[in-house]
Amino acid sequence: MNIQFQPNTLYYGDCLDIMTTFPEKSVDLICLDPPFNSDRRYNNIFKNSGLKTEAQIKAFDDVWHWDEASAERVQRLKNAVANPASKVIAGFEGFIPKSKMLSYTSYMAERLFVMHRILSDTGSIYLHCDPYASHYLKLVMDAIFGEQNFRNEIVWFYNNRLARKSKNFSRLHDIILLYSKTRNPTNNPIYDENWKPSPTQQRRLERGYEFRKGDLIIYDEKKFNESGIDKSQYANVYYSSADQPPVGDVWIIPILNPMAKERLNYPTQKPLKLYDRIVKASSNPGDLVLDPFAGCGTTVEAALINQRNVIGIDILPFAIRLINEHRIKPHGKEPFPMQGIPVDMDTATQLAKTAPFKFQDWAVSLINGFAANPQKVGDDGIDGFGMLFNTPDNLERKAIIVQVTGASGSQKAKYDRLHANVRNENAAMGILITLDAQNAQRNWTHTLESVKFGASEYPPIQCFSVEEYFRYDQDPNKILKLPSLANPWTGKQMQPTLFDF
Ligand SMILES: C[S@@+](CC[C@H](N)C(=O)[O-])C[C@H]1O[C@@H](n2cnc3c(N)ncnc32)[C@H](O)[C@@H]1O
């Protein structure tokens, strides 16, 4: 699919591929919160899936592992001499060979290099880090952005979380590394809205002026003029407009609590207040803000409410849909255009041809409650899975497996393979996702038992087609008959809407 640079757009895909197409110096502020250790893709409901491939899924569920792709990436980076992080990665290879950390830092080095290219001369970049990786990332950032452009290591202190007794001191903060493109970044002072003047400061503010060792300090010119004092009596007259000090590098902002109104239940969601502060500090109205790992769009909303233009990128199609639904629409705005996401049969067919894995992930994401299989090769034809919620005790089979095919025409062979997979994997059901609707109408036979929940019975193999998805208002419930499912990210019961996070 053709990617075009366009502010106020959401992009589905790997941010590397998308940012590579952006013009040089086109973005004024980049905020990124990439996934790390703590961000497992799925809830541990898969532990009890009963699937024979459970172990495999769990291995790939860990976002960072050393594999062939990591080895190729490290090699590629070592050859990419124009990337200043090339030497840092080569050094890491000597120090932590074939490790998860090398996999992660090399992945970030490729992307941070592109971010440097697209950042404007007055631009800044805020890199939200995991404490296990922040020191490695700082070296990569020093190489790419230059140590002279390192501005701050911001400590985001979550003051609403209490420390607990444990082997280590409880973690109560995150690190955010701030670098600028040049020595002259946009830099607006930020004042803490919870700041309260001390009694002395309060008196000063009320009076409008004060004397110090013969000097005069004017806080409020109007109040001072009313006092009738003669300024010329003083050797030094200072004007101080705000008694309130600007915030330092420790930001005290509560972490989202489970009942917070802004909570969308996206597993790694950050508070709006945090990103609002970043946007205000390092951009001006009309500037373009980019979040290449947008998640549920905290940065997007912060930019929107501060009259900035914004671009969000995420590799999960449902995250992109969630941003439009919960971050843009509530502000009375038209949904942002989505690039990389099929919008009709033509674009779906094109995606299936040009990027089959991306097509698979997108197709699986269309059914509420299903997650894509992170393993793409040697996946036994299992492209996604879901879990039944509250299965009857006597039912061992809890998983529903999904197989996707982007080929046109009859898919009988795929149907037979899914049939065998459901049996071999001891899954409860199977869903075949095809491009054309014709497959759904065929009465192909199978020998599997249906799944019974109380009085309801569900067919063990069902077909879902992209063609019907577009035909029936993009509502999977009009095509499939499914029992209640567990949300793969939270383990809770999946709600009936597509955006139940
Ligand atoms: C830690 S979360 C970001 C959370 C976000 N700050 C928020 O408040 O919602 C990281 C996000 O990066 C996405 N992601 C991971 N790899 C990506 C890639 N290569 N390109 C774009 N997005 C990616 C994940 O799907 C996830 O939504």
Q: Would you say residue 80 lies in a domain? A: no
Proportion of the chain above pLDDT 70, given as a percent? 90
Q: Taking each helix axis from N to C terminus, what angle separates 100-118 and 68-79, rounded to the nearest 10 degrees? A: 50
Q: Would you say residue 482 lies in a domain? A: yes
* Residue 139 sits in the same domain as residue 211: no
* Residue 327 sits in the same domain as residue 210: no
Q: What is the mean pLDDT of the chain?
A: 88
What's the domain count of the chain?
3
> One-letter amino acid identity for 308?
R
- pLDDT, one tens digit per residue, over 193-244 is 778 888 888 888 888 888 888 899 998 888 899 989 998 889 899 887 656 7
* Residue 320 sits in the same domain as residue 469: no
Tell which residue, 322, 256, 293, 307, has the closest CA to residue 498. Answer: 322
Ligand 1 nearest-atom number relative to CA 270: 8
Burial of residue 36 (number of CB atoms within 10 Å: 0-12, 13-18, 19+): buried
* Residue 440 sits in the same domain as residue 352: yes
Q: Which of 286, 318, 339 is the last residue in one of the domains? A: 339
Q: Residue 8 pLDDT more than 50?
A: yes
Please name every residue paired with 59 in a beta bridge, in sequence order, or none if there are none.
Answer: none
What does the pLDDT read at residue 501?
Answer: 41
> One-letter amino acid identity for 321?
R
* Mutation to probe ligand 1, out of 264, 293, 325 (largest number of atoms < 8 A from CB): 293
* Residue 380 sits in the same domain as residue 428: yes
Q: How far is the CA of 255 from the centre of ligand 1 (A)?
A: 18
Please name every residue paired with 211 in a beta bridge, in sequence order, or none if there are none.
Answer: 216
With cut-offs at 50, 70 and 90, classify the pLDDT of residue 498.
Answer: very low
Burial of residue 496 (number of CB atoms within 10 Å: 0-12, 13-18, 19+): exposed
* Residue 269 sits in the same domain as residue 335: yes
Residue ranges making up the domain that contains 320: 9-33+118-190+248-339
Contacts of 121 (CB under 8 A, 6+ apart): 25, 181, 182, 184
Rounded Cα distance between 267 and 33, Å, is: 13
Q: Would you say residue 496 lies in a domain? A: no
Whether ligand 1 lies within 6 angstroms of the CB of 37 is answered as: no
Q: Would you say residue 105 lies in a domain? A: no
- At 476 the three-state DSSP class reads helix
- pLDDT, one tens digit per residue, over 132-144 is 899 999 999 999 9
Q: Would you say residue 93 lies in a domain? A: no
Q: Which of 286, 310, 339 is the last residue in one of the domains? A: 339
Q: Would you say residue 359 lies in a domain? A: yes
**Joined tokens for residue 22:** 């952006």
What does the pLDDT read at residue 273?
Answer: 96
* pLDDT, mean of residues 284-302: 97
Q: Residue 276 pLDDT more than 70?
A: yes
- pLDDT, one tens digit per residue, over 57-105 is 555 555 688 989 999 999 999 999 999 999 999 999 999 999 999 999 9
* Residue 259 sits in the same domain as residue 157: yes
* Residue 441 sits in the same domain as residue 327: no
* Residue 430 sits in the same domain as residue 357: yes
Element holding 150 (H helix, E strand): strand 150-157
Q: How far is the CA of 315 from the centre of ligand 1 (A)?
A: 7
- pLDDT, one tens digit per residue, over 106-139 is 999 999 999 999 999 999 999 999 888 999 999 9
- pLDDT, one tens digit per residue, over 420-454 is 989 888 888 999 999 988 876 677 877 888 888 77
* Residue 264 sits in the same domain as residue 374: no
Q: Which of 339, 360, 382 is the last residue in one of the domains? A: 339
Whether ligand 1 lies within 6 angstroms of the CB of 39 is answered as: yes
* Residue 160 sits in the same domain as residue 262: yes
* Residue 329 sits in the same domain as residue 376: no
* pTM for this entry: 0.85
With cut-offs at 50, 70 and 90, classify the pLDDT of residue 42.
Answer: low
Rounded Cα distance between 127 and 299, Å, is: 13
Please name every residue paired with 178 in a beta bridge, in sequence order, or none if there are none.
Answer: 126, 152
* pLDDT, mean of residues 266-273: 90
Could you tell me the maximum CA-CA distance found in the chain, to the nearest angstrom? Answer: 101
Whether ligand 1 lies within 6 angstroms of the CB of 268 is answered as: yes
